[in-house]
Amino acid sequence: MNKTNGTVTTVPYDFTQSPRIDKVGVEERVSRFQKRSVKNEMKLQGLKMALNMIDLTTLEGKDTPGKVKQMCFKAAHLHDVHPGLPSVAAVCVYPSMVETAKKAVEGTGIKVASVSTAFPSGQAPLKVKLMDTKFAVESGADEIDMVISRGRFLSGDYNFVFDEISAIKEACGTSRLKVILETGELITLDNVRRASDIAMHAGADFIKTSTGKIQPAATLQVTYTMLEAIRDFYEQTGIQVGMKPAGGISNSKLALHNLIMVKEVLGGLWLTNEWFRFGASSLANDVLMQILKAETGVYQSSDYFSID
Amino acid sequence: MERLKILKTYKIYIGGKFPRTESGRYYTPLNSEGEAFGNICLSSRKDIRNAVVAARKAFGGWSERAAFNRGQILYRIGEMLEGRKSQFIEELVIQGVSTVDAKAEVELAIDRLVYYAGWCDKYHQVLGSVNPVASSHFNFSTHEAMGVVGIIADENTSLIGLVSIIAPTIASGNTCVVIASESKPIGAITFAEVLSTSDVPGGVVNIVTGSKEELIQPLVSHMDVNGLIYSGKDREIMKELNSASTSNLKRIRHYEHHWMEPKSQGLHFISDCTEVKTTWHPIENIGGASSSY
């Protein structure tokens, strides 16, 4: 089911009453996802799926148009010597690089996502955040990755966080909005659940774990908690919300664990890059190396793959 | 009542740690008198994979160390080996070597480490060259480490064959993944215990034990291994080395030495594991009277 634009206002919701999370239970559950044996055909299929769900990301102060162009080229030509590979889902850049990225991926079907709202800290007035977002949208961003105000959230000002997200949602227009919770700063899983609920009710199309600037980032525990929130929200409202774990997912094994978790918590409906993404910069090469290992039977070397 | 002897379970050495094999298997080799002398890990291809990853990770730091410091560390290995001489002799004896030969083997291994320790900061000068060229360039060649080197150690000796290849390999900054002698693996693992206590960074030397037949293929075909050294005479293994290593054109070195002989050490064992890099550095007009090269 597609999401209607705007904020969900029909369901009155008291965010102080968000479900509490049983941390020990979550850890138990998560440890089981890591024990699945994924081999051969199934592994290959999973790896290709993971590849197609990657948001190839560069979010550094030293980013230049040249660096962004190079990354966009990589997004479209992951490993040309091996035909039949999917491309990644999107590239993720700063607003100032959106125009460059948009031009670079033209005609490839790869989307351009832009972080905004004073990423990564989010410490700016709403006016600035709205301008930041509008600038990115006008430059052609298909997706906006916003950060929530963690300080306000932690001081219990949930309405402020809610209003902010819905204001940004409005500024996004037709671009899809991903809401970054920065779970590394939310401390508890209870907070992660609450922030997920706030974001979804305020109109998020995606909820995303982290900026990638704070450790820990997308742990399986956090992702699991957010997936459960998505499932409950879907059951209550019928609105499908996407999930994007970001940061710290640098190897194929972890990516496969994530896919298994999505399948078992949310079901197959979410297993497309329309509803699930990985925010990562070095994951793509590892997945590629694993795909080639699976197909050739020979362990691969990063010497023969593009530099991240 | 006679005491029940405990058969030690020897673990493998990867990334500076002593894990059990990923496969959980082991084998119990017997000496010439039919006695079991230890439980040895029967490693799998995944252990090789992990070892190569560890070796690759260690390569940058090890090859960038000052040559003098590498020499110090090799010397340190020799020192530590000296301190545990009696244990090595004992272990060689239970693997079927006579006491006299065992003593000679351990002492030679120590001497050989000291020998290569000395070469660490000298081989550059001896092997490197400044080359005459007919253009305005200062042209020089240096010998650089190859990267990750796969080593299939001597089957007939437990210690000396292993040390005689590892020492020159790491002297120039390579890191290595070693498949130990299948029938006499204890020297290799106890040597790993020496390495882990002698300032050698984790991952520089990785040692796995197990079936050669099983382990050679994943090591030899591995794209992240840059060179291979085989000590032995098995034509089947040579064939496999030559065919499976073509994917990334690894350098293959093959030694049939009897490692106890004095001629089985030398500078060429170091140069065998290096790549020559030649640099053309632009200089002023070569025709001038004051120019040299």
Dump pLDDT digits (tens) for B84-100: 999 999 999 999 899 99
In angstroms, the separation between the Cα of residue A54 and the nearest Cα of chain B is 24
Whether residue A90 contacts residue A278, with contact meaning beta carbons closer than 8 Å, is answered with no
In angstroms, the separation between the Cα of residue A178 and the nearest Cα of chain B is 35
- Cα angle B76-B80-B85, degrees, rounded to a multiple of 5: 140
Residue B255's φ and ψ, nearest 5 degrees, are: -115, 135
pLDDT at A83 over 50: yes
Whether residue B117 contacts residue B75, with contact meaning beta carbons closer than 8 Å, is answered with yes
Report residue A2's pLDDT band, with 50, 70 and 90 as the boundaries.
very low
The CATH number of whichever domain residue A202 belongs to comes to: 3.20.20.70
pLDDT at A7: 57
Inter-chain touch A298–B221, beta carbons under 8 Å: yes
| Nearest Cα to Cα of residue A288 among A88, A78, A80 | A78
Q: Across residues A106-127, what is the average pLDDT?
A: 95
Q: Is A244 considered catalytic here?
A: yes
Nearest residue on chain B to A303, alpha-carbon basis:
B224
Whether residue A236 contacts residue A8, with contact meaning beta carbons closer than 8 Å, is answered with no
Q: Across residues A9-24, what is the average pLDDT?
A: 82
Q: Which fold has domain B9-129+140-274?
A: Aldehyde Dehydrogenase; Chain A, domain 1 (3.40.605)
Chain A contacts of B52, Cβ < 8 Å? 299
Inter-chain touch B221–A299, beta carbons under 8 Å: yes
* Number of other CB atoms surrounding residue B35 within 10 Å: 11
Q: Is A102 considered catalytic here?
A: no
Question: What is the value of pTM for the model shown?
Answer: 0.88
In angstroms, the separation between the Cα of residue B193 and the nearest Cα of chain A is 28
Whether residue A259 contacts residue A54, with contact meaning beta carbons closer than 8 Å, is answered with no
* Number of other CB atoms surrounding residue B282 within 10 Å: 8
pLDDT at A281: 86
pLDDT digits (tens, 9 = 90+) for A29-75: 999 999 988 888 999 999 999 999 999 999 999 999 999 999 999 99
Q: Is A208 considered catalytic here?
A: yes
> Which range of residues forms the domain containing residue A25?
15-304
pLDDT at B287: 56
| Nearest Cα to Cα of residue B188 among B238, B145, B153 | B153
pLDDT digits (tens, 9 = 90+) for A118-133: 999 999 999 999 999 9
Whether residue B50 contacts residue B22, with contact meaning beta carbons closer than 8 Å, is answered with yes
Judged by a CB distance cut-off of 8 A, whether residue B222 touches chain A is: yes
Q: Is B282 helix (H, G, I), strand (E, B) or coil?
A: strand
DSSP single-letter state for residue B36: B
**Which residues, 6 or more positions from B234, have their beta carbon under 8 angstroms from its beta carbon?**
none
Tokens of A221: 């525990």
Conformational region of residue A267, where left means phi above 0, alpha means psi within -120 to 50, and beta covers everything else: left
| CA–CA gap between residue A203 and residue A161 (Å, rounded) | 12
Judged by a CB distance cut-off of 8 A, whether residue B243 touches chain A is: no
Confidence check on the interface: ipTM exceeds 0.95, yes or no:
no
* Catalytic residue (one of A55, A145, A205, A286): A145
Residuewise pLDDT in 10s, chain B (293 residues): 788 888 889 999 999 999 999 999 999 999 888 888 899 999 999 999 999 999 999 999 999 999 999 999 999 999 999 999 999 999 999 998 999 999 999 999 999 999 999 999 999 999 999 999 988 889 999 999 999 999 999 999 999 999 999 999 999 999 999 999 999 999 999 999 999 999 999 999 999 999 999 999 999 999 999 999 999 999 999 999 999 999 889 999 999 989 999 999 999 999 999 999 999 999 876 555 555 55
Average pLDDT, chain A: 93
Alpha carbon A173 to chain centroid, angstroms: 19
Task: Report H helices in B137-262.
Answer: 160-171, 186-196, 212-221, 235-244
Inter-chain touch A299–B222, beta carbons under 8 Å: yes
Chain A contacts of B48, Cβ < 8 Å? 299
Please count the structural domains in chain A. 1
Chain A contacts of B218, Cβ < 8 Å? 299
Residue A178's φ and ψ, nearest 5 degrees, are: -105, 130
| Nearest Cα to Cα of residue B148 among B267, B275, B276 | B275
DSSP single-letter state for residue B182: S
Amino acid at site B27: Y
For every residue of chain A, which 3-state class applies, written as one string? CCCCCCCCCCCCCCHHHCCCCCHHHHHHHHHHHCCCCCCHHHHHHHHHHHHHCEEEECCCCCCCHHHHHHHHHHHHCCCCCCCCCCCCCEEEECHHHHHHHHHHCCCCCCEEEEECCCCCCCCCCHHHHHHHHHHHHHCCCCEEEEECCHHHHHCCCHHHHHHHHHHHHHHHCCCEEEEECCHHHCCCHHHHHHHHHHHHHCCCCEEECCCCCCCCCCCHHHHHHHHHHHHHHHHHHCCCCEEECECCCCCHHHHHHHHHHHHHHCCHHHCCCCCECEEECCHHHHHHHHHHHHHHCCCCCHHHCCCC
Q: Flag whether A4 is in a domain.
A: no
Chain B contacts of A300, Cβ < 8 Å? 223-224
Judged by a CB distance cut-off of 8 A, whether residue B224 touches chain A is: yes
Whether residue A145 contacts residue A277, with contact meaning beta carbons closer than 8 Å, is answered with no
Most A-contacting residue of B44, B224, B225 (CB-CB within 10 A), to test interface: B224
pLDDT at A219: 95
Inter-chain touch A298–B223, beta carbons under 8 Å: yes
Task: Please measure the distance between the N-terminal and C-terminal CA atoms of chain B and give it in whole angstroms.
Answer: 81
Name the B residues in 42-81 with CB < 8 Å from any A CB: 48-49, 52, 56
Task: Select from B49, B221, B223 the Cβ nearest to the Cβ of A304.
Answer: B223
Q: Flag whether A128 is in a domain.
A: yes
Inter-chain touch B52–A299, beta carbons under 8 Å: yes
In angstroms, the separation between the Cα of residue A42 and the nearest Cα of chain B is 19
In angstroms, the separation between the Cα of residue B217 and the nearest Cα of chain A is 9
